[in-house]
């Protein structure tokens, strides 16, 4: 809602693309100052410029979310620039590799867990103390429908997203009485660069995968942004520890 986040500060990771960019733009439209963090500084800057072009206030920060020192620096830079942190969207991540459990190498497994799961813990580890100092805040973590169900060929990815929901629920319990709401989004299959890479690698997979979506189309990043911004809004004041599914009926099957 326009003006809902006036005077508030939102931090978004993976802000240079897909869900992160769409959510950064929506937070800004609704009045938030936005910190756009991404390992790719150039795309994060593009998002910040898109916000500035519409009269909003944003900065871009280069952050590798799998590195503790960089995540700590990201939160410090947010508070240094805007003096507070109200909403955090821990979203940056990488996709699955289309390999069976025995085909994943140790490096591939470790990298997936570091970027998709450890990153979410690191984000909350450094965001929560700031939110406690201010008396509250809202956190949304990006899980996936494969945080709830499995899908073949994605073992490390599936494990990372199940883990994100475990971390989300635990933090929700720990901070329930301290003014910090913690939720997750569980996207189905969306048309973002992450999936495009997979579809390009496996010709025909885009058409084949669509058959698994009862709604008959893929999601658009703006449809995740709407869910994230709503979860951070006062309208969601009693929604806490919730894995919000946005999947065009995929998990209803």
DSSP class per residue in 130-166:
HHHHHT-EEEEEE--GGGTS--TTBHHHHHHHHHHHH
| Active-site pick, 82, 126, 157, 175 | 157
Give the nearer residue to ligand NAD in terms of CB position, either 11 or 92: 92
Letters for 47-86 (x = contact with ligand NAD by CB under 6 A, - = none) are ----------------xxxx--------------------
Number of residues that bind ligand NAD (CB under 6 A): 30
Give the nearer residue to ligand NAD in terms of CB position, either 130 or 160: 160
Single residue of 9, 10, 11, 20 touching ligand NAD by CB under 6 A: 20
Piece in contact with ligand NAD (CB under 6 A), picked from 23-31, 39-47, 166-174, 231-239: 39-47
Single residue of 38, 45, 86, 127 touching ligand NAD by CB under 6 A: 38
Give the nearer residue to ligand NAD in terms of CB position, either 56 or 123: 123
Q: What b/e sequence results for 11-48 when a residue is b if at least 16 CB atoms lie within 10 Å of its CB, and e otherwise?
A: bbbbbbbbbbbbbbbbbbbbbbbbbbbbbeeebbbbbb
Piece in contact with ligand NAD (CB under 6 A), picked from 18-26, 122-130, 132-140, 209-217: 18-26
Would you call 126 a catalytic residue per the annotation?
A: no
Give the nearer residue to ligand NAD in terms of CB position, either 31 or 169: 169
State how far the alpha carbon of 129 is from the alpha carbons of 67, 85, 154, 164, 166, in Å.
18, 10, 34, 19, 20
Letters for 98-117 (x = contact with ligand NAD by CB under 6 A, - = none) are -----------------xx-
Please give the backbone phi and psi of residue 242, each rounded to the nearest 5 degrees, phi first.
-105, 130
- Which residues, at least 6 apart from 221, have a Cβ–Cβ distance to it below 8 Å? 18, 19, 21, 22, 23, 190, 191, 192
Active site amino acids: 157
């Amino acid at each position: 809602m326009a003006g809902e986040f006036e005077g508030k500060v939102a931090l978004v990771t993976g802000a240079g693309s897909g869900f992160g960019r769409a959510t950064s733009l929506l937070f800004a439209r609704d009045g938030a100052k936005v910190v756009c963090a991404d390992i790719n500084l150039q795309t994060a800057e593009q998002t910040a410029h898109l916000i500035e072009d519409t009269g909003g206030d944003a900065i871009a920060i280069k952050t590798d979310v799998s590195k503790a020192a960089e995540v700590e620096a990201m939160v410090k830079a947010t508070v240094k620039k805007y003096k507070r942190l109200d909403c955090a969207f821990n979203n940056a991540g990488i996709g699955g590799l289309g390999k069976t459990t025995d085909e994943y190498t140790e490096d591939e497994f470790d990298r997936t867990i570091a970027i998709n799961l450890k990153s979410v813990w690191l984000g909350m580890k450094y965001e929560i103390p700031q939110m406690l100092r201010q008396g509250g805040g809202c956190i949304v973590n990006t899980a996936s429908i494969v945080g709830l169900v499995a899908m073949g060929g994605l073992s490390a990815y599936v494990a990372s997203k199940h883990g994100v929901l475990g971390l989300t629920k635990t933090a929700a319990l720990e901070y329930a009485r301290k003014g910090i709401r913690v939720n997750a989004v569980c996207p189905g299959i969306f048309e973002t660069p992450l999936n495009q890479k997979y579809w390009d690698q496996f010709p025909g997979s885009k058409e084949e995968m669509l058959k698994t979506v009862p709604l008959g189309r893929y999601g658009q990043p703006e449809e995740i942004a709407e869910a994230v911004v709503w979860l951070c809004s006062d309208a969601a004041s009693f929604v806490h520890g919730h894995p919000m599914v946005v999947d065009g009926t995929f998990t209803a099957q």
